[in-house]
């Protein structure tokens, strides 16, 4: 069996991938993590309200079992307007597994029919409280899809839920070319913000070198900090400062990943210079 149900310490249930040996939302559980990490930090409700006259676009990178996307949609159901959720993954197997185990997991409650529709057709539209939702999947290897020219035709994101497996297991999803291209496509439209669970120096240097403004994110459960990034400094509440930059200079794992191999190295001299020149540190 590729996926298993696992009960977390706090009693909630989550999905475990046997292949990657990783549990989705392992610390505080799917809904609590999605609310703390994405809904509150990215201020999805307030930002969606700002754009109620047009569609608010969320990119859900690493759809998996859809805990993040459904929790985000649930948080927006009393806002009038339209949300477009674009979910990326190279497999629908975790979503199929979650639907088959929705009673134990709980987080798909009330969205089972929509998830079944999404699995069948890849694109659904429905009324969710006051909000109209258009939800679609884009399937395939995300780094390859993003690098292709088709990415220019995707609706530009206002917010990104970035939830790949860890950099050590899934390095291609955390590389400098990937975040550089993501910054390029996210900069086309309105200011965009992104959150992710990692606080690794290597991730933060990668985001900065890719052009993003980067800040410390809130704690979620045992993780004392996470990371937020944005195409505009105004969307960052606690920007990384020069003291952080000095620590990054001393770190033994700060050089960005380039491809699909995970390796740890201190920053190169060229990247130290590029980082110091980032407008965030001026
Ligand atoms: C931690 S899980 C995501 C959990 C999910 N966000 C949720 O709320 O249930 C990571 C997901 O990233 C997907 N993934 C990993 N590598 C990928 C790649 N190269 N391209 C697209 N998706 C990928 C996996 O299939 C998996 O569903």
For the chain, the structural domain boundaries read: 26-281
Q: For all residues of the chain together, what is the average pLDDT?
A: 95
Q: Is 197 in the pocket of ligand 1 (CB under 6 A)?
A: no
| Position 27 confidence tier, pLDDT thresholds 50, 70, 90 | confident
Residue closest by Cα to atom 26 of ligand 1: 64
Q: Is 108 in the pocket of ligand 1 (CB under 6 A)?
A: no
Q: Is 138 in the pocket of ligand 1 (CB under 6 A)?
A: no
What is the percentage of the chain residues whose pLDDT exceeds 70?
A: 100
pLDDT of residue 60: 98
**How many angstroms does the Cα of residue 241 sit away from the middle of ligand 1?**
31
pLDDT value at 52 more than 90: no
Residue closest by Cα to atom 10 of ligand 1: 164
| Position 26 confidence tier, pLDDT thresholds 50, 70, 90 | confident
CATH fourth-level superfamily of 26-281: Vaccinia Virus protein VP39 (3.40.50.150)
DSSP string, the chain: --EEEEE-TTS-EEEEETTTTEESSTTT-HHHHHIIIIIITTTHHHHHHHTTTSEEEEEEES-TTSHHHHHHHHHTTTS-EEEEEEEEES-SHHHHHHHHTHHHH-TTTT-HHHHHHHHHHSEEEEEETTEEEEEEEEES-HHHHHHSGGGGGSPPPSEEEE-PSPTTT-GGGG-HHHHHHHHHHHTSSS--EEEES---HHHHHHHHHTT-EEEEEPPBTTBS-EEEEESSGGG-SSB--HHHHHHHHH-SS-SPP-SS-----PPPHHHHHHHHTSGGG-
pLDDT value at 221 more than 80: no
pLDDT of residue 156: 95
- Tell me: the pLDDT tens digits for 162-187? 999 999 999 999 999 999 999 999 99
The predicted model scores a pTM of 0.96
pLDDT value at 223 more than 80: no
- Tell me: the pLDDT tens digits for 100-153? 999 999 999 999 999 999 999 999 999 999 999 999 999 999 999 999 999 999
Q: Please state the atom number of ligand 1 nearest to the C-alpha of residue 98.
A: 9
pLDDT of residue 101: 97
Inter-residue contact 178 to 229 (CB < 8 Å): no
pLDDT of residue 1: 80
Residue to substitute in 5, 22, 74, 164 for testing ligand 1 pocket (most ligand atoms within 8 angstroms of CB):
164
pLDDT of residue 51: 86
pLDDT of residue 12: 92
pLDDT value at 279 more than 90: yes
pLDDT value at 222 more than 70: no
Q: Is 164 in the pocket of ligand 1 (CB under 6 A)?
A: yes
Residue closest by Cα to atom 3 of ligand 1: 64
Looking at 21-30, 83-92, 116-125, 260-269, which range is the least confident one? 21-30
């Amino acid at each position: 069996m590729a996926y298993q149900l696992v009960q977390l310490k706090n009693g909630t249930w989550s999905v475990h991938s046997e292949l990657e040996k990783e549990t989705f939302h392992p610390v505080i559980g799917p809904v609590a993590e999605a609310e703390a990490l994405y809904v509150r930090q990215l201020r999805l409700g307030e930002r969606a309200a700002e754009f109620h006259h047009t569609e608010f676009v969320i990119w859900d990178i690493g759809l998996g079992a859809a805990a993040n996307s459904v929790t985000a949609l649930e948080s927006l159901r009393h806002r009038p307007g339209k949300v477009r959720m674009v979910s990326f993954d190279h497999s629908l197997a975790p979503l199929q597994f979650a639907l088959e185990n929705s009673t134990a997991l709980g987080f798909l409650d009330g969205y089972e029919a929509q998830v079944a529709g999404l699995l069948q057709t890849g694109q659904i539209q429905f009324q969710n409280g006051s909000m109209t939702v258009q939800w679609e999947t884009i399937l395939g290897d995300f780094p390859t899809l993003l690098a292709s020219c088709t990415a220019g035709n995707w609706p530009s994101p206002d917010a990104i839920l970035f939830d790949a497996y860890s950099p050590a297991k899934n390095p291609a999803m955390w590389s400098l070319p990937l975040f550089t291209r993501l910054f390029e496509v996210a900069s086309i439209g309105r200011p965009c913000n992104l959150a992710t669970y990692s606080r690794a120096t290597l991730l933060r240097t990668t985001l900065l070198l890719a052009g993003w403004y980067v800040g410390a994110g809130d704690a979620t459960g045992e993780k004392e900090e996470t990371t937020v990034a944005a195409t505009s400094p105004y969307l960052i509440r606690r920007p990384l400062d020069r003291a952080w930059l000095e620590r990054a200079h001393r770190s033994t794992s700060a050089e960005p990943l380039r491809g699909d191999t995970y390796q740890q190295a201190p920053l190169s001299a060229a990247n130290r210079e590029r980082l110091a020149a980032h407008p965030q540190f001026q």
